[in-house]
Amino acid sequence: MEFEEIYKTYWDRIFRLCMGFVNDYDAAQDLAQETFIIVWQKLETFRNESAIGTWIFRIASNTCLRQIEKEKRFPKSDLPVHLSEEKQASIEPQIQYLYKCIAELPETERIIISLELEDVKQAEIAKIVGLSEANVRVKIHRIKEKLTQKFKENGQQ
């Protein structure tokens, strides 16, 4: 698969995954770019042992996990105020609320639910995260319950 094709196919999906992780438009954009830089550099080493989607999602989720270190180095409050609020203002509050709720989950749950919402198969999610399929299924079920609960409490239906 050519890089350009991958880029076009996966950018949106990777961006949403990152957005679910950080719930910050600019930071998500950065993380998605970082992911594609790695994809671009490593594309030659990709062997068709796994599906390309699994490969890309692994890189993306690991990139999200790794940025935790940067987060610690530059606390958010120290950064200049971004214009991200403005960009998001047009989005329905329900969508904003969903991303906010997801970004508040424990880190690995953010990744799991994001992949599920991206229609990644549970067997693939298991391969990306490193859990058994059964475990993934249980986790997805619980996370969805948690989200539904939050939506109900907030009256967002």
Return the residue of 59, 120, 122, 124 that touches other proteins, per CB under 8 A: 59
> Token pair for residue 26?
């600019």
Rounded-to-integer distance, Cα 10 and Cα 41, Å: 16
Quickly tell me which residue has 């996990």 as its tokens: 65
> Token pair for residue 91?
């989005």
The CB-of-79 to other proteins minimum distance in angstroms stands at 18
Q: What is the DSSP string of 27-79?
A: HHHHHHHHHHHHHHHHGGG--TTS-HHHHHHHHHHHHHHHHHHHHHHS-GGGS
Return the residue of 1, 8, 134, 142 that touches other proteins, per CB under 8 A: 8
> Token pair for residue 57?
């999602």
Site for other proteins in 88-147 (CB under 8 A): 88, 90-92, 94-95, 98-99, 106-109, 111, 114, 117-119, 127-131, 144-145, 147
Residues that bind other proteins (CB under 8 A): 4, 7-8, 11-12, 15-16, 19-20, 29, 33, 36-38, 40, 42, 46, 55, 58-59, 61-63, 65-66, 68-69, 72, 87-88, 90-92, 94-95, 98-99, 106-109, 111, 114, 117-119, 127-131, 144-145, 147-148, 151-152, 157
